[in-house]
Structure 1
Amino acid sequence: MTTSRTVEEKNQEIATSYLRALEGGAVGAELEAFFHEDAVIHVLPNRIAPQGQLRDRATAVADAAKGKKLLRAQRYAVRSSIAKGDTVALEVEWTGTLAVGFGSLQEGHELRAHIAIFLELRDGRIVSQRNYDCYEPW
């Protein structure tokens, strides 16, 4: 007997696959495939982006390529995930290892952040992403 997955289960799977792709250094078409053509990514103000950031799909994909040059590695540890309909909320602990110096930090330094990510999906793709990134002191 085959059981079909719910919309929520499918969306959580997409969200997890998206984070694994980011972890693996996905750029270009591989990353773009996660986003709906109308995607809007909103990063709320934080230590790295004090004014916050608002990006469309193309800008988000371009920024990922830039980020790949800054980070040797990054990990997303999902602490909790809740889905309702087309919305997925994730509580994530992020660690990024610098590939180059950043401000007063040396290459190899590990940055850590506690992140809440809210994804809205349409047609199996991310149409909206809101990030609340809380970086640990450095």
Structure 2
Amino acid sequence: MELFGFSIPFLAKLLFAAFNGILFTQSGLDKVFHYQGNLDYFKDHFKKSPLASTVGLLMPVITLLETSAGLTSVLGLLLLLMGNDSANTVGASGMGLGALSLVCLFFGQRIAQDYAGAAALVPYFLMTMAGLMLYTL
């Protein structure tokens, strides 16, 4: 079966890569271009948690993870469209980096006792894991 001229699994891979690419590229680049504002927010958010003293070190890590997840997903999307043999490996890597980013964010939200913020990450994590599974089948 086809939809829009693509097989359903291929279309699903394209859409997972596009979604992940948009989500993480935007989030990572927002941290890059508004670094101080994000840093101030996270310092305030974690001020009463065990992570308070590490925010300055963790901020570049999550920024790099998110940006890498997004750009790798976009690259996977482009490779899929070009029919490149490494598209599945690159796409799965983007999904894996995205999942790792979300686990880090989830951990931080739970430590900060922001349970609503942690719960809001669950659908993104499930989507990313579904994409990872699709790329590895």
| TM-score category of the 2 structures, normalised to the smaller one | under 0.3
TM-score by length of 2: 0.27
**Normalising by structure 1, what TM-score?**
0.26
Q: Which structure: greater helix fraction?
A: 2
